[in-house]
Structure 1
Amino acid sequence: MDLVEYERHVRSEQAARRYLLKRCLNGSKPRCPRCACQRLYRLADQRLRCGGCRYTFHEFTRRFVNRGGLSCRDWLRLLKLFELELTANRMAPELRLSYNTVYKAMTTLRFAILAGALDAPQLLHPSSGIDLGLTDTPEEEAHAAVNRYPVFGIIEKNGWVFIDLLPHVQAENVLHFNLHFSLKLTRMGNIVYTDRFQRYDALMFCGDDRLTFNYVNIRGKSAYVDSLSGSFWAFARTRLRRFNGVTPRRFPLYLKELEFRYNHRGEDLFPLLADRLCALVPDFAQS
């Protein structure tokens, strides 16, 4: 989206709302977010009611854009800054919003990106043991997940990257492979990644002080992914370093964001991000 078109959409709250509603509808008629019925009628207070299941809602009900309490205009401005890869610290004064408000909105957007990934049902299903803490502020990230340090496999082929959750591999297993089977490990802060392993270019996880990985050898031969110029890891590594203290709990969100950015590099990200933001929030727990 060029600057002229962007300014046209953010010139007023009404214009911003029209743009987001268009992304919600995606060229189709309005549907009930509960049962997908199109037999709707409008109430006196401008809400909609489904003629099938009788559910009462408004246009953004059950969509990511309805989370966080931002105005439509603020959402579009945040999308533009997110597209430009600003951090929450830099966004907050630009948007004239509190850091926690911006942090929650960015988490919502990252969750929306993850929810649109092909492997979202696996990552978001309770059986994964991963708790991403969608609504938490930074101070509220103490809740423990069963799979505290999920391990991911990185595969890059023909310019596309695929980041797979390996549910049967624990971080402790990776450390064991290093100690007993000489699998090369490298650290970047709390992020640990390996040399090539089976069909993967690397295995990767994010730890914290509850996981003993201080003995990981960071000297000597570099991991395979470090030798690849113009690769996903070269793209992701510089961006991960910009984030202030990525936590194990949020790490999957950052990884899937970077997967999304890499696979859509060279494209106009703004409408793609808007589409993810305007999508319905899935309930993979029911699948």
Structure 2
Amino acid sequence: MRHTNVSHRRLDDRAAKLKRLVSSEEEAKKFLIANCFGERKPFCPRCRENKLYILNGSRYRCSSCKYTFQDFSGRWINNGGLSCTEWIRLIQLFAEDNTAHAISLDLGISYNAAYKAVSSLRFAILAQAIDAVQLLGPETGLHKHLNNKKLTGIPAKTGSEVIPVFGVLEKNGWVFIDLMQNINAESVFHFNHNFHLKLVRHGSIIHTDRYQKYNALILCGDDSLPLDYIRKYPGVTPEIEKSGGEFWTFARDRFKRYKGISPHRFPLYLKELEFRFNNRDKNIFDILVNYVCKIVPDVD
């Protein structure tokens, strides 16, 4: 009973905090700025210098590199063009696992604005992964989405799009999604044809049976791959269901909600699901706020 009462108080405190933040743009901005700088004074997002000149319009100029910026410049939250209260509401809705379409309707904003803000959250989650440097590099093509720390939308096709393959490793209630270094999409078909590695296809997503230490290999294909080669299952076979573990059951139903996933954005969805699975017993709102307020890393 005592534990239940404590849990209820925490829920009530969170609800009161959220209500306070979304009712005042000033309160929401103070909350987000505090997450950007913590106990530190404002500092330059480019060179980290904290000796700044205060300009009109809530702007600063760095005394070292002369960069002029605002509180959210260079951070993930600087994408989407939303107000601070809209960001708070959007993060809460995203934490509750709502789609970009549902979020746009709830907030009364355009789908494009909601999608860009949700994409910022997904990038922010991926950027905190231990393999973020690889994931934001040429091996996935995600670096093409970033220009001067801003999201640029969908890159133009070059005819040689990267189709990364990931290994899914589940252990002791945790899941780890690894970018496979020496395996490409063609290798997966080769393993199936020559070594009888079982595959299933759900739309453009291909999922294998157990491979070496991994519960599965997973990738998102496009028309450059012989997708029709794989029989399209309405569900997964018992063997692959068993090898896929809890994560595959967790992820499979969510993949169905994501319309039109492409190979170059697939890593964002995978790392989001890794994050959600590993934090499935937590309220992730504060974690997401912390992530989206971080400075966008430099990418090549």
**CA displacement at 1:54 relative to structure 2:** 2.4
* 1:99–1:161 Cα change, 3 Å: same
Q: Does residue 110 in structure 1 map to residue 125 in structure 2?
A: no
Aligned to 1:264: 279
**CA displacement at 1:29 relative to structure 2:** 2.5
- For 1:273, give the aligned amino acid: L
1:106-155 deviation line (CA, Å, top 9, x unaligned): 11111111111111001112355455636455xx5652474531100011
**Which residue of 10, 24, 31 corresponds with 2:22?**
10
Q: Residues 185 and 223 of structure 1 are in contact (CA less than 8 Å); yes or no, is this contact kept in structure 2?
A: no
Aligned 1:19-38 pairs, distance under 5 A: 19-38=31-50
**CA displacement at 1:228 relative to structure 2:** 5.8
Q: Residues 140 and 162 of structure 2 are in contact (CA less than 8 Å); yes or no, is this contact kept in structure 1?
A: no
- For 1:23, give the aligned amino acid: N
Aligned to 2:219: 205
**Which residue of 97, 111, 114 corresponds with 1:99?**
111
Q: Does residue 73 in structure 1 map to residue 88 in structure 2?
A: no
* 1:133–1:38 Cα change, 3 Å: closer
Secondary structure of the equivalent of 1:163? Answer: strand
Percent sequence identity is 47
Structure 1 stretches of 5 or more lacking a match?
A: none
**CA displacement at 1:27 relative to structure 2:** 2.5
Give TM-score scaled by structure 2 length: 0.87
Secondary structure of the equivalent of 2:88? Answer: helix
Aligned to 1:163: 177
Give TM-score scaled by structure 1 length: 0.90
- For 1:162, give the aligned amino acid: F
**Which residue of 250, 253, 270 corresponds with 1:235?**
250
Aligned 1:134-173 pairs, distance under 5 A: 135=151, 140=154, 142-144=156-158, 146-173=160-187
**Which residue of 182, 198, 203 corresponds with 1:189?**
203
Secondary structure of the equivalent of 1:272? Answer: helix
* 1:127–1:78 Cα change, 3 Å: same
- For 1:200, give the aligned amino acid: Y
Q: Does residue 273 in structure 1 map to residue 280 in structure 2?
A: no
Q: Residues 161 and 264 of structure 2 are in contact (CA less than 8 Å); yes or no, is this contact kept in structure 1?
A: no
